[in-house]
């Protein structure tokens, strides 16, 4: 019995074109993966900077809050670097985080003590 060849003869052209196509697809996928990773990196750095600015502003507000005394609060507020307002028995202190946001602390005088009512991030563009 003679053995039959079941494989047809493929030239060098078809496998070469297929390999070039595979390599091209792999290159495109690697470039897209790099771009996505770079985007995540930039987003992480941006978020890290915003978080750092938030905690610096919070630290600045709390440091000033702990220096306040109920007897001379108005004279101390004149030394405050940020913005402040007085409403009735409440003081609103603002510390700049960046161009877009400020951190706002509301302090209230009640029972002859200073109490923090709120601490929140607000838009800096008004």
Residue 3 within any structural domain of the chain? no
| Residue-by-residue pLDDT tens, the chain, 126 positions | 556 665 566 678 888 999 999 999 999 999 999 999 999 999 999 999 999 999 999 999 999 999 888 888 888 888 888 888 988 889 999 998 888 899 999 999 888 888 999 999 998 665
Number of domains, the chain: 1
Contact in structure between 107 and 116 (CB atoms under 8 Å)? yes
Residue 7 falls inside a structural domain: no
Q: Could you tell me the residue range of the domain that residue 60 belongs to?
A: 13-123
Residue 37 inside a domain? The answer is: yes
- Asked whether residue 106 is domain-assigned, the answer is yes
Q: Is residue 79 part of a domain?
A: yes
Q: What pTM was computed for the model?
A: 0.72
- Rounded CA-CA distance 76/3 in Å is 102
Could you read off the pLDDT of 73-87 as tens digits, one per residue? 888 888 888 888 988
């Amino acid at each position: 019995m003679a053995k039959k060849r079941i494989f047809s003869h493929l030239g060098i052209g078809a496998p070469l074109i297929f390999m070039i196509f595979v390599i091209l697809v792999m290159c495109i996928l690697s470039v897209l993966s790099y771009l996505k990773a770079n985007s995540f990196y930039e987003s992480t750095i941006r978020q890290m900077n915003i978080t750092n600015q938030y905690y610096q502003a919070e630290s600045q507000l709390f440091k000033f809050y702990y220096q306040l005394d109920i007897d001379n609060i108005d004279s101390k507020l004149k030394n405050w670097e940020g913005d402040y307002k007085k409403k009735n028995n409440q003081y609103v202190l603002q510390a700049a985080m960046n161009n877009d946001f400020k951190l706002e602390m509301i302090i209230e005088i009640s029972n002859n003590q200073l109490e923090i009512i709120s601490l929140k991030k607000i838009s800096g563009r008004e």
